[in-house]
């Protein structure tokens, strides 16, 4: 896997792993990246400015990004998870 910029990879990801925690809730806006994850019963939140996101570096060996924020350095892995739906496509039409 090769990566150009973290902002480009985030646009095609629907799940992140930050510091070993899976995060389905994240949003990249014009101002910042917001990530929310659960650590047991505790909710953890991270905020990174757009400048910090743009300064992130990709580690090809670990296939992850090093992102430095106000709270220090974090390891970020961008993932594309499969999603399902509740529609039963095998139902026959009654017509």
What pLDDT does 1 receive? Answer: 47
84 or 4, greater pLDDT: 4
Per the structure, the count of domains in the chain is 1
38 is a domain residue: yes
Q: Specify whether the CB–CB gap between 67 and 76 falls below 8 A.
A: yes
Is position 93 within any domain? Answer: no
Please give the C-alpha separations between residue 20 and each of 30, 32, 60, 88, 94, in angstroms, as whole numbers: 26, 21, 17, 34, 48
Q: Indicate which CATH number applies to the domain containing 19.
A: 2.30.29.190
Q: Is residue 91 part of a domain?
A: no
The rounded distance, in Å, linking the Cα atoms of 83 and 67 is 27
pLDDT in tens, 48-83: 999 999 999 999 999 999 999 988 999 999 988 665
What is the model's pTM?
Answer: 0.78
Mean pLDDT of the region 7-18? 92
- Percent of the chain having pLDDT more than 90? 71
> pLDDT at residue 86 above 90?
no
Tell me if 68 sits within 8 A of 81, measured CB to CB. Answer: no
User: Is position 87 within any domain?
Assistant: no
């Amino acid at each position: 896997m090769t990566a150009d910029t973290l902002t480009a990879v985030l646009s095609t990801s629907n799940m992140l792993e930050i510091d070993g925690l899976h995060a389905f809730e994240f949003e990249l806006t014009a101002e910042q990246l917001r990530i929310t994850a659960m650590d047991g019963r505790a909710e953890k939140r991270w905020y990174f400015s757009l400048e910090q996101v743009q300064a992130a570096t990709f580690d090809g060996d670990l296939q992850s990004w090093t992102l430095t924020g106000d709270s220090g350095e974090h390891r970020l892995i961008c993932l594309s998870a499969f999603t399902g739906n509740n529609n039963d496509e095998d139902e026959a039409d009654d017509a």
